[in-house]
Amino acid sequence: MPMRIAMTIWRLLKTRKFKRPSTIELSDFGCFLIMACGVIVLQQIDISLIYHMIRGQATIKLYVIYNMLEIFDKLCQNFIGDVLPMLFHSAEELARCPPETESMKFWIWRFISDQVLAVVASIVHSFILLVQAITLSACIVSHYNALPALLVSNNFAEIKSYVFKGYSRDNVHSMVYSDSIERFHISAFILFVLAQNILEAEGPWFGSFISNILLVYLFEMGIDIIKHSFIAKFNNIAPIAYSEFLEVLCKQTLHMQTEGAKKKLTFVPLAPACVVIRVLAPVYAANLPYNPLRWRLFWILLFSAITYIMLTSLKVLIGMVLQKHARWYVNRCQRRKQHLHAD
């Protein structure tokens, strides 16, 4: 998205002729505005103040705060997942409608209102993720081992709220996708904790950081395994259903048509991206050399370009790995179905 916006601006400066933006250009502009507003607002938030307010609370209060934030995170994720398609639809209609007509005025105001709604929702979601990351960081560095207590209480409360209820197959499918999005959010929180340790930790900290991170991931994976085992048992869902969920996700990765698939993995990365940019900016600022302003701008541009190239390369690499794994798994499922049909 940033590369497409840069190419659009370069083409506009080169031709010096304003061309009516297309649907993709309007959508990119809307997403860029959402992310820029989120980063600007998060830059005004004093992380240390929120950190010390949360760290001074008792363990039971940390548990309540983290659970509330987790609930609001899921609500915001679902809400933004509905708002963004509205914004993209408005961009499509605005790009297609004839100029200087009443319909164009309507779609301009519709696009602006959808844009404002998406910006506000994304800012709220970004703030919730930031506070959630600060809460996890406060538990990790606390002197009274608040992290195990938080993980145990939070995850067993999750088991209690899920396993004794009836769920359909579609509900379980949505739950699997929600758990995968939650893992990604936890990875963003871990990146926040790493940035805070780089900036403020004293003495050897990397060993304890790795052990705490492994503890978080092991708890999350273990509780998810237990939760889905009981859900499958009480709702008479065969274990092969989870293989079919993965097959649908692999086909979605390969952009293949799936028959009867009602659920798609909808992940909106704008709010986590705002949090990651907010927490990584001080790390870059702390490592800038003390030079005149011109040279500092040079180093900022250089670090930004290197980071962008590294992230783009990582994105391409992960995409290639996912495509290869998805193709292998879909072929494996097809061979298994053919074998069962032959039997």
Q: In a structure prediction context, what are the per-residue pLDDT tens digits for the chain, which is 343 residues long?
A: 888 888 888 888 888 777 778 888 889 999 999 999 999 999 998 888 888 888 777 767 777 888 888 888 888 888 988 899 999 999 888 888 887 777 888 888 999 999 999 999 999 999 999 998 888 888 777 655 677 777 777 777 777 777 777 888 888 888 888 888 888 888 888 888 888 888 877 777 788 888 888 888 888 888 888 888 888 888 888 888 888 888 888 888 888 766 555 567 778 888 888 988 888 888 887 777 777 778 888 888 888 888 888 888 998 999 999 999 999 999 998 888 777 666 5
Q: How many domains does the chain have?
A: 1
Tell me if 101 is assigned to some domain.
yes
Residues 6+ apart with CB under 8 A from 197: 205, 206, 209
* 232 in any annotated domain: yes
User: For residues 199 and 283, is the Cβ–Cβ distance under 8 A?
Assistant: yes
* pTM score above 0.85: no
User: Looking at the domain assignment, is residue 224 inside a domain?
Assistant: yes
Say if 333 falls within a structural domain: no
Specify if 66 maps to a domain: yes
Amino acid code (one letter) for 150: L
CA distance 133 to 104: 42
Asked if the structure places residue 61 within a domain, the reply is yes
Any residues with CB less than 8 A from the CB of 139 and at least 6 apart, and which? Answer: 62, 146, 147, 150
> Residue 246 domain-assigned?
yes
Other beta carbons within 10 angstroms of residue 99's beta carbon come to 6
Range of the domain at 228: 1-287
